[in-house]
Structures are given as structure tokens and as C-alpha cells.
Amino acid sequence: MTAPQNPITRAIWDGTLPIKFSLDGTEAAELGAKILVEPYFIEAPRCSYFPLLTSQIRKYFVDMALNFIGDDAEIWYDVDGIPLKWHYPIGLLFDLHTGYRPDSNSPPPLPWPVTVHFKNFPLDKLIRAQAIDATQDFFMSMIKEADFLRNGSTKKVMNLSKNDQTQLWDGLWSSSSQKYRTENYDRFWSVNYRLVINDGQSPRHIPLRIYLPDNCNPLTLGEVLHQILPDLFPSSLPTENAFAAPVIHGVIPQLNIPIIWASQNLCYPDNFLHIVVLLGT
Amino acid sequence: MSLQAADLNSTPHSSSTSLNTTLVEAPTPQNPTIALEKYKKKDAAKVIVRFRAIGNAPILKQNLYKISASNKFQAVIQFLRKELNYKASEPLFLYINSAFSPAPDETVANLVKCFNTDGHLIINYCTSAAWG
């Protein structure tokens, strides 16, 4: 079955993000990497999920002679130390974690640097995926939750034939394959169209979720210096601070490092972050 | 807001104190950080959760519980497991309104807001997947 031609849903379906997957440095050594492991680059659909990419990412790193023998469900991802929720769509995670405003003048932070972990699954921060089917179960639960909001019951989803329900997931699951993009779009949207159009009835409620910024813009070293010594650091940006520089452990750190990271990593044994300010040449 | 500002411009000697008060009370977001903190404040309210066993799942002696709305759904799952004396390895499935299972990281406040029945959140539980 072909889906109704809708250029908007089609453009969203085709939306992708270039991602750079690097193996966590400490883990690489533990897994027996003798040399520097090159990162893996992929153009991932914004509408897809990380667990759907895991098998090819795993294959890449295992081909680099890493002796990881665990389950795919043990593999997890993080950005700047924040574990990525595998049950969120990739595009949502990018918007949420980069805090990149599309209306800003700076270019987007692409390819998006994501760290891959094969060990130490953060059980306190991420939901444990029991099996590889967990993503599908979560996805179908979300679809049902949305249906419940629209109609006060999950009848519309439950009345879909088994084949139609499978088609929703299969379309999404295979969406990273460039070759069959149109076929997969048709598979997904020929079924999903019936759910979102809701038989022409206006929905009781609109399913939506709002995400407030969270740790997206941590206070940086530059901002701290600017707040405390505004005359020496007239701006929090490195380029505009030509006449003073901070020195920590004999190094001039970048002004855009998060202050909390600096405190955790750059402090002396007395737990203080000692910053020496030096004036320009 | 804009009307008051216009008034001030036409009468520059009016009391500035009253203007300041109106400015503070105005709903216009003067400071996004404060606005954000307000929206992110945890819901301290308690909500009523009603558990219903499905199939051959063991029945609870008490099925109504008051829990903090700020809890994650994960806390509800753990609570029920404890009440039933279930080990982590034993299967237990939880559903809202016999319809779907929410993500464990969803807050109870959101679930009550969206899916309550007469103010109660109805949670069905069973030992095998029921509405999968």
C-alpha cells in the first residue's frame, strides 16, 4: 500500500543528522584496543532510535578487533557525560542536548559527537533494555499513549491488524537504509496516516510533550570570569578577551569549558580550582 | 502592560513606585531563568493510585495508595514489586487504564494530569504481557 503523498511528512521522514560515534577512551583500552580507534560516522534519520543503529556500530568496533562479547542491550551512548535516553528519537536528543538554536548565526555542531560505551550501563540514569525488542515495545506503547490521548481509548491502535502494527515498526526500523527510503516511508505512513487523521474526527486531546532546557547551557569558565572580573573579562567569549587569560596547571584552558567540569577535573588536591589571571603580551 | 507603559510616557511625573509594582506583577517573562525555575518546580502534591490485578496476578490487601506526584513511574513499579514481594527477575507488567505502559521515567504528575479517572490513576498489573 502507498501512503498519501504529503511533502511535509515526507521531508520530516527524510531528515537526517550526521553523527560521529567515538569509543570511550578508557573502555577502548579495557577492550583490548592497541591503537587509537577511529570514530564511526553515520547519517542517521532524525526519526530513528539509537538502538536501531547499535548493531552496525557494534559491528564496526568489533571489526576493529575489540573483544566485546556482551549483549547489544549493554551498549549505551552519551554526550558530554550525559547518558542519552535510548527511547527518545535521535532528532529530539540532538535538539535537547546540543541546545543549538536554528535561528542563531553559528553553524550547527555537526557531525554530532556521541560517545559509545560497551560497559558500565548507567542503571540509575537509563532504563535497562531487557532485550532488543524493548525499543519496539516502547515505541508501540508511545503510539498507544498518543491514541489514548486522542480518543480516550487505544481502540484505533488495537484494531489495527497485526500486519499493520508490524508495518509501522518495520517502516521505522528499516528507515536508516537509504535505498528503500520511499518504500519504508510508504510502509509507515500508509498505516500511521489512519491513526493521525483519526477517521476525520477531531481529537479529544493533542498528544504533545514539552522539554524545558536542562543542563543544556552549563555555566562556563568564561561566564564565571566575566561575572567576577568584568573589567578584565568584558565578555565570556574567548575571542573578545584579548587582554587577560586564565592559567590553570600551567595551561590556558578554553573559556567555554563548563565550570563544573573544570572543578571536577582541574582542581588541585585541596579541591580548589586555582586560577591565575595573566595579562596580555 | 503596553497600556500602562503608554500612560507613563504621557505623564512622566507619575509615581515610579506604582509603576515598578505593576512591572513586577506583570505576567510578562522579565527573566527567563526565574520563569524556568517556576515551571521546573517539583509537584509536592500527593495523588491517589489505584492498583488492579489482571489475570492470575496476586491481589493486594490494599489497592489504594497515596504517592507523591513528583515520583517517576519507575518508583511506582518498584513500590508494587515490594508490596507483592516480587524479585526483579519475576515478570510484572504495569498498564495505565488497561491500555498502555508509560515510560518508567515519566512523572506520576504528568500521568495523573493526562489519564486520571475521577482523580485516581488506575494502574493494572499482571504477570504476562496483556496489552502488548
Q: What's the CA gap between A254 and B109, in Å, rounded?
A: 41
Q: What is the pLDDT of residues A179-224, one digit of tens each?
A: 778 888 999 999 999 998 888 888 898 999 988 876 556 788 998 9
The pairing of strands A16-23 and A112-117 is parallel
pLDDT, one tens digit per residue, over A32-54 is 777 778 999 999 999 999 999 99
Structural domains in chain B (count): 2
Q: How confident is the model at residue A126 (pLDDT cuts 50, 70, 90)?
A: confident
Angstroms from B75 CA to nearest CA on chain A: 12
Q: Does the beta-carbon distance from A138 to B103 stay under 8 Å?
A: yes
Indicate which of B100, B105, B131 best probes the interface with A, i.e. most A CBs within 10 Å of its own CB.
Answer: B100
Q: Is pLDDT above 80 for A22?
A: yes
For residues A64 and A118, give the distance between their C-alpha atoms in angstroms, rounded to a whole number. 14
Q: Does one domain contain both A5 and A122?
A: yes
Final residue of a domain: which of A165, A182, A213?
A: A213
Cα distances (angstroms) measured from residue A26 to each of A31, A61, A101, A151: 9, 15, 32, 49
Across the range A234-247, mean pLDDT stands at: 80
* pLDDT at residue number A201: 85
Residue-number span of the structural domain to which A252 is assigned: 221-279
Give the residue, B42 or A145, on which the prediction is more confident: A145
- B54: CATH: 3.10.20.90
Give tens-digit pLDDT for A112-125.
999 999 988 988 88
Do A105 and A242 fall into the same domain?
Answer: no
Is residue A226 scored above 70 in pLDDT?
Answer: yes
Residue of chain A minimizing CA distance to B99: A154
Residues in A closer than 8 angstroms to B103, CB to CB, are 87, 127, 138, 141-142
Mean pLDDT, to the nearest integer, of B48-67?
93
Upstream peptide bond of A39 is cis (omega within 30 degrees of 0): no
Number of domains in chain A: 2
Question: Least CA distance to B129: which residue of chain A?
Answer: A137
The predicted model scores a pTM of 0.74
Q: What pLDDT score was predicted for residue A131? A: 59
Residue A47's nearest CA partner among A83, A11, A100, A2 is A11
In-domain check, residue B131: no
Among the listed residues A194, A195, A175, the one whose alpha carbon sits nearest the alpha carbon of residue A183? A175
Quote ipTM for the complex: 0.70
Average pLDDT over residues A131-149: 87
Using a CB cutoff of 8 Å and minimum separation of 24, what contacts does B12-20 make? none
pLDDT value for B24: 45
Domain C-terminal end among A181, A213, A245: A213
Which residues form the domain of B50?
46-126
Per the model's pLDDT, the better-predicted residue between A281 and A7 turns out to be: A7
Whether residues B6 and B24 share a domain: the answer is yes
**Residue A99 Ramachandran class (φ > 0 left, ψ -120 to 50 alpha, else beta):** left
Q: Is B39 on the interface with A (CB under 8 A)?
A: yes
Q: Are residues A91 and A64 in the same domain?
A: yes
**B75 interface with A at CB cutoff 8 Å:** no
- pLDDT value, residue A124: 83
**The pLDDT of residue B112:** 95
d(CA B85, CA B74): 16
